[in-house]
Each structure stands twice: as structure tokens, then as C-alpha cells.
Structure 1
Amino acid sequence: MKYSSIILIVLWSVAMACTQPKKKADTVVTDVKNDSLWDKIAVYFTPPKAYENQYGDFRSPLTFYDGRPVKDTADWQARRSEIKQRWHELMGEWPELIRDRELRITDSVRKEGYMQYTVRFRWLPEEENQGYLLVPPGADRKPAVITVFYEPETAIGEGKPHRDFARQLAKRGFVTLSIGTAQASKDGVYSLYYPSMADAQVQPLSMLGYAAANAWHALAGHPAVDSTRIGIMGHSFGGKWAMFASALFDRFACGVWSDPGIVFDETKGAAVNYWEPWYLGYYPPPWEHTWRETGMIEDAKGLYPELVQEGYDLHELHALMAPRPFLVSGGSSDPVERWTALNHTIAVNKLLGYDNRVAMTNRPDHSPNARSNEQAYLFFEYFLKRD
């Protein structure tokens, strides 16, 4: 970032800090030193009685692929490396991460309670992306959250209701970076294809995780950000993106995944459609199906059928989060019975000596609402704002 931009941000932050009205301590909902914050979210970390110690038909992450059990933390580190390596082998290896640590500001506008910058940065080896950086006032380094979706405008409040995650978190004192696949979504292909759409060497959903990792590096270098406290959040398509990014890239401190479909489930139809070519079903042309076709494709190609046939499922990626915390903001795609998958990561955390690192909330509908968002924001406040 150019020095002039940094000076502009610091001067504006100081001015805003001086003009913001003071609140009484007992009215600040983000006071994470108050035990009442944990009281508000504690219930989401325990499965209902009906699902306690229920593990479904999922293959345990605490068993090596050759059948050996994981007995201790040293074994888990080896098993964790095995899972990560296997999934990268299956999905395609990432290119070298981009560590430029620069968000190039192209525009700015003052909002109520924060400054909004239009920024550009490299997220693929040969491609820049445009997003929005929201910076609250104050000269201290702050926790931050990257939000991901089809395009970056929704998260800053220019889309459907209850999806303005970046804007709401900025109002709560987080630096936020909203990014999305705007052009690909406009073209109806949604995702990222490397090195080209006709010859992608990495499954597109994994490539989205790679792009988010590069966004982390760009955001971590910003003077207003505490790089040890950066989370990620997304809904639906963005929920899948946030899940893969936080699982595959260790530097994300935590994640919120809003109704992505946290395991393979073809009974959910188009909502949990990992077989699509823009997720885990990519195959090179000629393409025999339209990109907009919904529902399970009987002769699905690409990696997805192989994963299902060989018994892989996404709970293995969840386990890579341990002991980092994550919240599943479940809707119609991720109902309460998903605890049978989440219990596997709870078991990993217990082996490592951690409790209360896996949470799920539930609502009947796919769309987020005011209550589910409040639950997510409190989760971030507890885990990213604590001393």
C-alpha cells in the first residue's frame, strides 16, 4: 500500500475516534471480557441429546487411510498431514501462494461508522480481483473477517437482505474485506479455473480456497489488521468457499459457514451440488451438459464421483480446522442431524485437549436471517476479540 494511502487511513481513523460518542461500558455488546458473551453462544457448541456421540457412517478422521488408529497428538499431526496431502492430490495442487501483502486503493467513501475502500489485489498468479475494504475508526490493530460470495457488493449491503456480513461486522469494529467472483458469476461459470477454463488443473472449489488464502495475505499486511485474528465467512456458494478456504489454509483463525452443505448429500438436490463443474465436478471439454443444469447428473464426471465411490467426505476437511473454532450456520441444507459429521471434529479436538471449538446453529430456511447472523457475529466477537 502506498504511504499516502496509509497516512489518509490513519488521519481519518484518528478523526473518527475523536468524534465517536462514548458508550457506557455496560452497554457495549462487544465487551468480550464479560462472561455474558459466552453465555449467549455456549449452547451452540453442544449437540442435542439425540446426536451426542453419534458418528453416522462417516469414516473416522482418527483412523489413518491404512487403518491404523490415531492414538495421540503426534499421530494426529501425521494424520492431519495425510488428509491435507491426499485432498490436494485429489483436487490438484495449488500454485505458489501470492504474498504481495498489498491492497491497492482505487476509491473511497465515508460510511456511518467506518470507511469503505474499493481495492484491487492479485488473487490468482495472473489475475487481479476487485473487492471492498471496510475499516472502522481507531489506530489500533483490529480483528478482521474476509467475506466471500458471488460478487463483493452483497456483503457491503447492496444485495439481498441479511447477507451484508461485511457491513455489519465493520459496524461491530472488525476490518472486513468483501470479495467475490463477479465476472465468472455474470458469465454463469461462477468459480475459478486455473490456468484456464478449458484446462483447469485444480478443482474450482479448491481454487477458490487458494484465492481466499491470497486475500488473507493481502489483508494481513494492512496497518489496521491484526494478522493473528482473521476469520472468514460466507453463505451458500460462499459457505462452501469459506469452508474449503479455512480448512485448507491454516492461517484463518476461525470460520463461519452459512448453510453450504457441510457433507455430500444428493438428497438435497441443487443446494448441495458438489458434483457441478464449478465445484468438484470439473472435467475438460467437450462439455456434455449445460452449466445451469440442476439436480444430480447421472453420469457426473470429474472428481466428485471418485470421492463418493472411494468413501471420502467433507468431514475430513472439517477436522483440519482443529483446534481452530468454526460455526456452521445451518439452514435447510445443514439441518440438526449434521451433528453426526461434526462429532468427528469434536473427537479430534478432545484428543488435542480442546472443548467448545465446533458449533452449529439451525434455522428452517436456506436464507440467513437476523437471528442467525447475530449468532455468527457473536461467535466472531468471542473468538476474534478476546484477549
Structure 2
Amino acid sequence: MVDLTKLKSPSDWAAVRGEIEAAVRGVLGPIPKDPIDLQIKTVDEVEFRGYTRRRVNYFVDNWERISAWLFIPEGKDEAPGILCCHQQSPQGKDETAGLEGDPRMAFAQHYAELGYVTLAPDCITAGDRVVSRAKAYDTKAFYKENPKGSIAAKMLLDHMRALDVFAEAKRVDAARIGVIGHGLGAFNALLLSAFDDRIQACVASCGFTRFATDKEPARWARGDGFLLIPKILDCVQSGKFPFDWEHILAMAAPSPTLIITALSDSEYANPRSCQKAVTMAAKVYKLLGAPNALDFYGHHDGHRITLEALEVADEWFERWL
């Protein structure tokens, strides 16, 4: 595993980054980012005060079309875009759009009201993408067809396609694209920021704990039907991980990244783990001349995003987008 504290110069990082990316890809499995014709279609459109909400669908590969909520704020000028990744809820994109579930998770609606173009797609196995007669987040059907892949890599690829939607959508300033997520959404937001340099600002709430100090590292490949990263089980059994979360954060550098962590999180019970990852990744941000572009915010309200934390996220996007 690469020791980030030993990096001395930006040229050191250029070589090391490729090594880290190869290690991450080795665990995630194939990420076949081949160009496709999205064929974006608007299914319906509803106007609200301050924004319009569209239900759109588009291809994520040569066979599957998925649906998403696209919010367009009032006005004619180009606006920054924010991709809103949903948490592990069966409602998927509908919660992010404010139609169901926890109102605090309605990122797409919230940021549209603030003047951003927002997009909220379903992850595979959630929302409209639940396989017939299966429960949300049941991944068995996926692995039957993709035995060498991972749901994590598929989600990453699908979120890259979402950025392609932004590139084709009117009113979006393609040079100012952000991503936000909580829980599983934060996991996806961080991976996307690490692998796609179109992301110019990232906010991730309660999305990880370091593998090295995780008392339950098999959470990433648990046997309840939701198998996120199968190869992590090999790492758990050997006790050797080829990368950790500080490496994911470092891969995103120098893109501005805000980590929000609950200091009393029942899901990830070691908040110091997140702080340590941020501290180690900050070395890379500093080397690349962006020491203020990686930050950490903690709260004491459990595995959720608080109103205060959301205000911090708002300020982050306003600052960097």
C-alpha cells in the first residue's frame, strides 16, 4: 500500500497516482467507459416556483435505459450542475427529488431551489431499477450476468454517464459540475470524484471508514444480498488491503472535497478513521497547491445529514462552483 506521507513533490504523485488507480481498479473490476449515444428523452415536465422538474431517461449502456429527475432552475443563463447520489433507500432517486422518504435527503430539489441544475438518477437495484420479484439492493441478478464485475464499478460507470447527461443538457455550465451524496451516495460521490476529473466539487456525508481500522470491513461485501465489492472479502481474509480511503480522496485531488462525518455514527463507529484519511490525503492536496480544497466537518447527530451540515455543504458549493 502506498504511503502518502512519503511523497515529496508533485512529480512523485504523478507516478504514484497511477499505481493507486490500478490497485483500486483491481478490486472494483472492469469499468468499461466506452462512448454511447445517450438518446436523452423527456418523459414529463412539471413547473414549480423557481424551477422545472423533468423526468428523463437515457442509455447507460447499449441495452439499458434508466430514468432520472432533472431539475432546471428559472432563468436563461448557464448554471452549475450538481449530481445528487441517493443513499441506500429503496426509493432511490425519488427520495433525492423530494418525492418520498427523508426530506433532508432531497438534495436535487434543494439545490435547484438555490439555482443549480441538478440530476438524480437511480442506482442499479434501487428505485425503478429493482429486478422483478427482487428486493431493492438485491445484487444476485447482476452478478449472475457479471461474475467478474462489482456493483460498485457499475454504479461508478452509471454516474459517469450522468455527467455525460450534464454535458448534453442545456443551461449547464460543464466547467462547474459538483456531486453530493450521503451514505451509499457519499461512497459513490467519492469514487466518481476520484475517477472523473469533470467533478469540480464534492460533498460526501457519512460515506466511509478506513479499511485498516474497520471492525467490520466485510460490510463492503456483506451477505444480505447487497454485495458491493466482492473482492474486498479476499482482502479481509488476508488482512491486506491494496489501498484505503485516503488513497481515494487523494485520487480526487486537487478537486475540492468536503467530508462530513457523524462523530456518533452507528454505521461507521470510528470517526477518527475518517479524520485520519483526510489528514493523510491532505498531503497530496498541499503538494498540488490546493491545501484548502480538502476539508472535514463533524457533527454529533448520528448517521444522517443535519441542517447545519447541509448549510456547510451549501457554502462549499457556493465557494467552489
CA distance in 2, matches of 1:194, 1:353: 45
Q: CA deviation at 1:160?
A: 0.9
TM-fit CA distance, 1:325: 0.8
Aligned to 2:160: 213
Q: What secondary structure, in the 3-state scheme, does the structure 2 residue paired with 1:341 have?
A: helix
Matched, 1:61 2:4: yes
Residue 249 of structure 2 corresponds to residue 312 of structure 1: no
Change (3 A) 1:193 1:120: farther
SS at match of 2:220: coil
Deviations 1:305-332 (A, max 9, x none): 2685245312211110111111112121
In the other structure, the counterpart of 2:112 is: 170
Higher mean Cα deviation, 185-194 or 346-355? 185-194
Percent of pairs identical after alignment? 23
* Gap change, CA 1:237 and 1:254, over 3 Å in 2: same
Secondary structure at the counterpart of residue 153 of structure 2: helix
Partner of 1:280: 229
SS of equivalent to 1:230: strand
| 1:257 and 2:257 aligned | no
Letter in 1 for 2:8: K
**Which residue of 247, 256, 259 maps to 1:328?**
259
> Is the CA contact 1:336–1:362 (under 8 Å) kept in the aligned structure 2?
no
Q: Deviations over 1:222-280 (max 9, x none)?
A: 1210111111111111111111121122221121111012422543x59x821335211
| Root-mean-square deviation over aligned CA pairs | 2.6
The correspondence of residues 183-198 of structure 1 with structure 2, limited to 5 A, is: 183-184=128-129, 187-188=134-135, 190=137, 197-198=144-145
1:110 aligns with 2:57: no
8 Å contact kept, 2:36–2:61: no
Residues of 2 paired with 1:336 and 1:140: CA distance?
A: 43
Question: What SS does structure 1 have at the residue aligned with 2:102?
Answer: coil
5+ residue gaps, structure 2: none
Match of 1:361 among 297, 305, 309: 297
Please give the secondary structure, in 1, of the residue aligned with 2:155.
helix
TM (normalized to structure 2)? Answer: 0.85
Instruction: Pick from 89, 95, 101 the counterpart of residue 154 of structure 1.
Output: 95
**Aligned partners of 2:147, 2:140: CA distance in 1, in Å?**
5
SS at match of 1:134: strand
Indicate if the aligned counterparts of 1:102 and 1:222 stay in contact, CA closer than 8 A. no
Q: 1:356 to 1:59 in 2, by over 3 A?
A: same
Rounded Cα–Cα distance in structure 2 between residues aligned with 1:328 and 1:355 = 15
SS in 1 for 2:60: strand
SS in 1 for 2:286: helix
Asked if the contact 2:78–2:171 (Cα under 8 Å) also holds between the matched residues in 1, the reply is yes
Distance 1:90 1:321 in 2: 18
Alpha-carbon distance in 2 for matches of 1:321, 1:184: 28
Q: Which moved more, 1:372-381 or 1:310-319?
A: 310-319
The equivalent residue for 1:343 is 279
Map Cα deviations across residues 160-216 of structure 1 (whole Å, 9 max, x no partner). Answer: 121111111001110000112324557335277897544333221122111101110
Structure 1 spans left out of the alignment, 5+ residues: 1-57, 63-68, 283-300
Q: Residue 102 of structure 1 contacts residue 221 of structure 1 at CA under 8 Å; is this kept in 2?
A: no
Aligned length: 301
> Measured at CA, do residues 327 and 303 of structure 1 come closer, stay the same or move farther in structure 2, by a change above 3 Å?
farther
Whole-angstrom CA distance in 2 between matches of 1:239 and 1:310:
21
Task: Identify if the C-alpha distance between structure 1 residues 247 and 303 changes in structure 2 by more than 3 Å, giving closer, same or farther.
Answer: farther
Q: Report the 3-state secondary structure (helix = DSSP H, G, I; strand = E; otherwise coil) of the residue aligned with 1:120.
A: strand
| In the alignment, structure 1 residue 124 sits paired with structure 2 residue 61 | yes
TM value normalised by structure 1: 0.71
User: In 2, distance between residues paired with 1:192 and 1:103?
Assistant: 26
Distance 2:53 2:114 in 1: 14
1:179 alignment partner in structure 2: 121
Q: Is the 8 A contact 2:29 2:148 kept in 1?
A: yes
